[in-house]
Structure 1
Amino acid sequence: MSIFRLSGFAGFAALVCLSAVAGAEPTQIGESTRRPLIARPPADASLIQPAGCGKAAAAILAELNRTDGDTHQPLGPGGLADTDLLHNDVELDLSVSGNDLTIVGSNTMTVRSLVDGLTTFDIRLRSNFTITGATVDGSPVTVQNIDTVTRRVLLGTTFNTGDQFDVRIDFNGVAVSRGFGSIEVDYAGGQPVIASLSEPYYAYTWWPCKDGTWGDPGDNADKATLDMALIAPSNMRSVSNGVLVGVDPLPGGRSRYRWHSDYPISTYLVMLGSHPYNTWTETFTYDDGQTVHNMPVEFNIYPSDDTPSNRAAWGEVVTMLGVLSDLYGLYPFIDEKYGIYEFPFNGGMEHQTNTGQGTFLEYVTAHELGHQWFGDMITCRTWSDIWLNEGFATYTEALWEEFKPGSTGHPALVNAMNDRRPDPFTAANQSVYVYQTDDVGRMFAYDTTYLKAAWVVHMLRGIMGDAAFFQFLADYRAQFAYSAATTADFEQVAESSSGLDLTAFFDQWIYQDGQLIYAFGWENANIDGQDYVRLRLRQIQSGSMPTFV
């Protein structure tokens, strides 16, 4: 996801304008003490404007308007660890009245038991929905209500390790949105827009699913393939993950769009969008040395926003796909598609194969595309590891500036990273690793989860050198592709790939809070007719990692 800026606050740290502070200790000739100006989020939500993926801004709004009210109990036996979800087969019939969305639907979950003696299976579905039917392998079963978001399916029989079974849940009700806008009805050009954004915990607000408990670190490694059928009025185009299998005309002027993905997806990355979109498709062609790949890139835009400039802005993603495939390996969902669809969230969300964007900004497009490798193909295993998603996506913004056609190269990278310096007040008091997963605002703190995390990635590149760094990323992808990784996994691959002991680096920069304090100065010198620059650097830090110039 992408982030926010503030209007009316010159030098806000999310933009990080670095400046010498009045009253700082005297420095030598030409010396500058690098101390970003400090600002805090405003009490007035109207000052928040989107930048990046927008989740940090939305997290602040959630803190200003906290009315959640949902209760969450720990999952019991049959929760995350006891089962392996293999496939979701979802059908949702969507009806809009004003800003209310009624959903009538079902999900058939194909599940494998990982333990002996399994008799229950916990799912997530908010209590505003009524379960109208439940079966296991076709036989009716009982479902218990555990709290406002958790239902316990009594399986009616005992399953042992390796046994596979199908759980079908039929349900209906009026959706209630949570989080960043987990399931919303908005309007564009007088026509309804239906859109989801489940990250991190809120898929339960629109479909019955296997997912972790709100506030827990969770486990995003249990990915499943997907069939998604969306029924809406025939003037609406309904989009989801993967490829379009077919469109079925239905009675009453309605249509069913059927989507399928063979790539396993984490629960929070499943999506829907429906609107009378204008649609166009371009082709991404890439030669990986063995195969020439041709993949559709699909765009769904509000007719009210369909202008040549907006089409050109989004269309730049086709070039980005080539640049990032050179850096990160072939686009990971090459056999299906990449898409961008417009949705009401004022930023972006990296739904697998189909990114939602409420903006046409270039760096947001680069950020969300970067997530397809880091976030979707390799997902943060727990929400404590969210920096692995957002730090890499933010660094992708800078890599795009460095490697895009016509770039100045390294100077563009330097400028991009200088534009992404974190606020020292936040950086000094928050670690990149998230210990407070029950605080969504902390999870998506822009200065640490995005900016400081991007600098961690950049410093790893500096320590390793370019060749070793990009080889490490290749090794990381090879080991965890289409799965999920923890920070410890990431560190292990970094060390084994580079041959470096990075314990001190990870302890200092990721697991602990604090910030680098440094000052530098320079002067021109002419020695024996040769011009030189004399550089002075003062840096305060713990440990024995190298000095960065």
Structure 2
Amino acid sequence: MRNTFSLIGLLATLFAVGCSTTKPATVEAPVVMEVRDLDTMTITPEANGVTDMQAEIEIPNERPVYRPAYFRTHDLLHTRLDLRFDWAKEQVIGKATLKLTPYFRPSAKLVLDAKGFEFKSIKMASGKELSYDYGGEKQQVTIALDRQYKRGEEYTIVIDYTAIPAESGGSAAITSDKGLFFINPRGEEGDKPRQIWTQGETENNSRWFPTIDKPNERTTQEMYVTVADEYETLSNGSLINQTKNADGTRTDYWKMDLPHAPYLFALIVGDFDIVEDQDWNGIPVNYYMEKGWKDHAKDIYPYTREMLSFFSDVTGVSYPWPKYSQVAVRDYVSGAMENTSAVIFGEFMHGTKRDLIDVETNEKIVAHEMFHHWFGDYVTCESWSNLTLNEGFANYSEYLWMEEKHGRDAADFHMLNERSGYFGSVNRGEPHELIWYDYDDKEDMFDAHSYNKGGAVLHMLRHYVGDDAFFTSLKHYLTENQYSAVEVDELRMAFEETTGEDLNWFFDQWFLKAGHPALSLDTDYADGKVTLTVEQTQETEHNVPAIFRIPVEVDIYTNGSTTPNRQIITVDQRKQTFTFDSPVKPDVVIFDPNHQLLAQFNYIKSAEELAAQFKAAPNLIDRYLVLQRLSTKEESDAKTQTLTAALKDPFHAVRGLAMRTISEPTPDQIALVRMLAEGDPHSAVRAAAIEMFAEVGGDNVKTVAESALNAEPYPVVAAGLQALVSVDPKAAAAAASQLESIENDDIAGALAELYAGLGDVSKLPYFEKRMNEVDGYGALNLMDGYRNLLAKGSPDQMAAGVAKLKSLGLDQGGSPWRRLAATKAINDIRESLKKAGAANPMIEQLKIMIDEIKAKETVSDLRQIYEGYGQ
């Protein structure tokens, strides 16, 4: 599963500081953490005013919480489902035929997960009726079998039922747990297509068919799905045949011969165009496209066949499933889901080729879900406590793909963002172990630890053992554990059996302990010696180690050379000093020059040292972090020269950050910015350059802006429109009218800013149309413009607009970005009314609205942002 809402986690910190809608830069800032040195602390009873040491120690009265893997008493061998649907009642009418055998001990009782069912009958395959108990909260059905069965004895039961998926619960990654969702089931929502789709993870497929809904279960499957003949269906495995029925329906028969976990079962029904791609090694590859999108299938799902080849090669295991299908559905409650051979995405994936220029999100998510077909589907975590064995690998696949397709700089920049997401998560909450046995709720596992930290830890492991050993170990792990469930020890043993090294130390501190190192670094030079002092300052609460063992490199650059003197050290004390020979004072010393270590640093360098690092060090992260840290330095020649060089950097993010770091551009820098504004190959950089060029009032801003209006990438067009506003508002208004028909978030944001500035309330309908479609940062900009324009309208327009914002803020089926943007707009309106000073009953009404939105919100990061609203 891919949680596409991780950027909201980064925004939580931003909104805690100030409610700006400006896109934040990715920051991996040094953090200084005050800790007491545990190696030198001495605690005596007398120091605490007691004479009995036992009085200080609280002896627990309960065992620690431990979430074990499911205790398997029966093995589910095969599942056959016969399904029809009552769209009006949103019900599943099903018959499940299940083949099982006792797992080890003899048994005459079977317990199945079945949430919210009505049973018509439960029988043996022979037709004998079975008694069952289905009480309490109706989460499980307990069936008395016709006799006791022994291990190896197979039996088959047949269950006729009606399932009524009920909404409750959810998580930051999965905002509703119905399991099966009817979209516009009664055709009451205008042009929205009617669809059925499923979301099984974690244990929600048992809301539409009875099963043993646990990740350490595996079963083959058959599915007979009867739908109106106008609809297409998609499920796991292969479509064996389609049979038209006399009543105008059609029954599709899907078959999966290879065993997989029940949470990976999938079913999608809807009016789709099926776009067939070229087979990959004889395996069908296709895309189920909502009407109107079929011509954009390969832009929406880029590099699918190329990724199948790459991941097969890099793992040493050829893609193991019978097909690869991808579909985007409406109102999806997660980012994407790796259902075996039938991947589901949210509609945010949709876009034309022009929309998707320079957009890396789609390909990263395609990579993420595809890699799950090895790590998650082929080899599955045995319990949710071990979820990172699924999600950490899928997260790391994004790095592997970016490295393969776009180069090391692109991959490292992606890792920088992933680490920032993890650090932000820890700063907002408590760290916990990657293998987390004492979680409160299994849904809590879907966080920046299982995903971001999991991927970062694998990157460190790869660096430590080397590429050959890393990928050989992965092949060994996958081959030894194919079609089975695993826990972290099996991953460790695969690496140990490959390398011959005991790796308990690595897995213990990174998988079984919490947190990460916080390192305070200091360097000095005297008498031909470089000294490097490293102090681990991380706090040790929440099972965070006081001392991490850190094998790491140190690069020493001297005399302007770009070839370093590399030293290899192991940090394994709370505080220690290393000494290296150097005939001259270094230009700069770089700790962890490969930037593979998941740690936060307090390492102060001068502007001259930072300039030397930017010039000499080859890693993208060196260049990017240097610019971040130069932003805190006073103006100097070294800073100016570095920022000027950064405007010519080969990687787009460095060029973009350079523009954000420059406060007072020199003539040379302005000339470079104009060149970027006129033709940078990356749309985000060109757009930023147009904005900066307009701000500094460079010559011929109008020429640059008008040229941008004819560019292909929408961000460039939007930036051109905003620049034109600053020099020729009349021409900008004329250009804007030609852009209203374009359905693009960047264009919508630019138009919102223009219309709000003009105060033309006749444009409110434009905002209201786009509000239901816009996503991401564009939603923040659009709704900020909308609330500014509402303030210039009548009281009736204000009331109607606020009602629309409230509806979006409450819509848990819609985009979290739209909810955030709408709720922020309501809060900003309230703050404006409060600042006006006069008593206004709407202030209290808006507070009530905000409280209602807070109470309904399911995404934890949004709830954190909302804490400051309505005060």
In structure 2, what is the equivalent of residue 206 of structure 1? 208
Give the direction of change, closer, same or farther, for the CA distance of 1:88–1:458 in structure 2 (3 Å limit).
Answer: same
In structure 2, what is the equivalent of residue 472 of structure 1? 473
Asked whether the 8 Å contact 2:556–2:566 carries over to 1, the reply is: no
Tell me, in whole angstroms, the C-alpha distance in 2 between the residues paired with 1:173 and 1:526.
Answer: 71
Deviation per residue, 1:441-463 (Å, 9 max, x gap): 42101x20101000111111011
Give the direction of change, closer, same or farther, for the CA distance of 1:387–1:277 in structure 2 (3 Å limit).
Answer: same
Tell me, in whole angstroms, the C-alpha distance in 2 between the residues paired with 1:325 and 1:251.
Answer: 44
* Matches for 1:94-243 after TM superposition, within 5 Å: 94-97=85-88, 100-126=89-115, 128-138=116-126, 139-147=128-136, 148-178=138-168, 179=170, 180=174, 181=176, 182-187=179-184, 189-212=191-214, 220-243=215-238
Give the direction of change, closer, same or farther, for the CA distance of 1:350–1:19 in structure 2 (3 Å limit).
Answer: closer
Please give the TM-score of this superposition, normalised by the length of structure 2. 0.51
Identity of aligned residues (%): 24
Asked whether the 8 Å contact 1:295–1:337 carries over to 2, the reply is: yes
Please give the TM-score of this superposition, normalised by the length of structure 1. 0.79
DSSP-derived class of the 1:191 partner: coil
Out of 20, 26, 35, the position equivalent to 1:17 is 26
Moved more, 254-263 or 141-150: 141-150
Tell me, in whole angstroms, the C-alpha distance in 2 between the residues paired with 1:542 and 1:165.
Answer: 59
Deviation per residue, 1:354-402 (Å, 9 max, x gap): 1111142221111100100000000111111100000000000010001
Letter in 1 for 2:117: F
Letter in 2 for 1:195: W
DSSP-derived class of the 2:390 partner: helix
* Matches for 1:272-421 after TM superposition, within 5 Å: 272-285=267-280, 293-304=281-292, 306=293, 308-334=295-321, 336-343=322-329, 344-345=331-332, 346-358=334-346, 359-360=348-349, 361-404=362-405, 407-408=406-407, 410-421=408-419
In the TM superposition, residue 312 of structure 1 has moved relative to its aligned partner by 2.1
- Stretches of structure 1 that go unaligned for 5 or more consecutive residues are 26-73, 213-219, 286-292
In structure 1, what is the equivalent of residue 249 of structure 2? 254
Tell me, in whole angstroms, the C-alpha distance in 2 between the residues paired with 1:281 and 1:104.
Answer: 31
Deviation per residue, 1:183-236 (Å, 9 max, x gap): 111249433111111111112211111224xxxxxxx23211100111111111
Asked whether the 8 Å contact 1:221–1:381 carries over to 2, the reply is: yes
Give the direction of change, closer, same or farther, for the CA distance of 1:20–1:415 in structure 2 (3 Å limit).
Answer: closer
Give the direction of change, closer, same or farther, for the CA distance of 1:525–1:342 in structure 2 (3 Å limit).
Answer: closer
Asked whether the 8 Å contact 2:302–2:363 carries over to 1, the reply is: no
Out of 217, 238, 244, the position equivalent to 2:239 is 244
Give the direction of change, closer, same or farther, for the CA distance of 1:328–1:434 in structure 2 (3 Å limit).
Answer: same
Letter in 1 for 2:467: D
Asked whether the 8 Å contact 1:521–1:537 carries over to 2, the reply is: no
1:495 aligns with 2:486: no
In the TM superposition, residue 8 of structure 1 has moved relative to its aligned partner by 5.4
Moved more, 508-517 or 349-358: 508-517
Give the direction of change, closer, same or farther, for the CA distance of 1:382–1:543 in structure 2 (3 Å limit).
Answer: farther
Letter in 2 for 1:423: Y
Asked whether the 8 Å contact 2:283–2:323 carries over to 1, the reply is: yes
Structure number with higher relative contact order (C-alpha < 8 Å, ≥ 6 residues apart): 1
Letter in 1 for 2:494: V
Tell me, in whole angstroms, the C-alpha distance in 1 between the residues paired with 2:568 and 2:522.
Answer: 7
Tell me, in whole angstroms, the C-alpha distance in 1 between the residues paired with 2:323 and 2:410.
Answer: 30
Letter in 2 for 1:118: S
DSSP-derived class of the 1:420 partner: helix
Tell me, in whole angstroms, the C-alpha distance in 2 between the residues paired with 1:521 and 1:314.
Answer: 47
In structure 1, what is the equivalent of residue 431 of structure 2? 429
DSSP-derived class of the 1:368 partner: helix
Letter in 2 for 1:373: W
DSSP-derived class of the 1:294 partner: coil
Tell me, in whole angstroms, the C-alpha distance in 1 between the residues paired with 2:383 and 2:32.
Answer: 43
- Stretches of structure 2 that go unaligned for 5 or more consecutive residues are 17-23, 35-66, 350-361, 524-554, 576-590, 594-871
Structure showing greater radius of gyration is 2
Tell me, in whole angstroms, the C-alpha distance in 2 between the residues paired with 1:303 and 1:242.
Answer: 24
DSSP-derived class of the 1:403 partner: helix
In structure 2, what is the equivalent of residue 93 of structure 1? 84
Tell me, in whole angstroms, the C-alpha distance in 1 between the residues paired with 2:269 and 2:112.
Answer: 25
Deviation per residue, 1:494-523 (Å, 9 max, x gap): 111111211111111111112122366899
In structure 2, what is the equivalent of residue 33 of structure 1? none
Tell me, in whole angstroms, the C-alpha distance in 1 between the residues paired with 2:557 and 2:469.
Answer: 36
Asked whether the 8 Å contact 2:265–2:339 carries over to 1, the reply is: yes
Out of 422, 444, 467, the position equivalent to 2:446 is 444
Deviation per residue, 1:20-43 (Å, 9 max, x gap): 459899xxxxxxxxxxxxxxxxxx
Letter in 2 for 1:204: S
Give the direction of change, closer, same or farther, for the CA distance of 1:327–1:533 in structure 2 (3 Å limit).
Answer: closer
Asked whether the 8 Å contact 1:520–1:535 carries over to 2, the reply is: no
Tell me, in whole angstroms, the C-alpha distance in 1 between the residues paired with 2:492 and 2:558.
Answer: 45
Asked whether the 8 Å contact 1:209–1:267 carries over to 2, the reply is: yes
Give the direction of change, closer, same or farther, for the CA distance of 1:530–1:276 in structure 2 (3 Å limit).
Answer: closer
Tell me, in whole angstroms, the C-alpha distance in 1 between the residues paired with 2:462 and 2:298.
Answer: 34
In structure 1, what is the equivalent of residue 763 of structure 2? none
* Matches for 1:60-99 after TM superposition, within 5 Å: 80-97=71-88
Asked whether the 8 Å contact 1:520–1:536 carries over to 2, the reply is: no
Please identify which structure carries the higher helix content. Answer: 2
Asked whether the 8 Å contact 1:432–1:449 carries over to 2, the reply is: yes
In the TM superposition, residue 530 of structure 1 has moved relative to its aligned partner by 5.6
The alignment covers a number of residue pairs equal to: 473
Deviation per residue, 1:395-418 (Å, 9 max, x gap): 0001000112xx32x333322211
Tell me, in whole angstroms, the C-alpha distance in 2 between the residues paired with 1:8 and 1:468.
Answer: 38
DSSP-derived class of the 2:239 partner: strand
Tell me, in whole angstroms, the C-alpha distance in 2 between the residues paired with 1:131 and 1:419.
Answer: 49
Please identify which structure carries the higher strand content. Answer: 1
Tell me, in whole angstroms, the C-alpha distance in 2 between the residues paired with 1:332 and 1:23.
Answer: 45
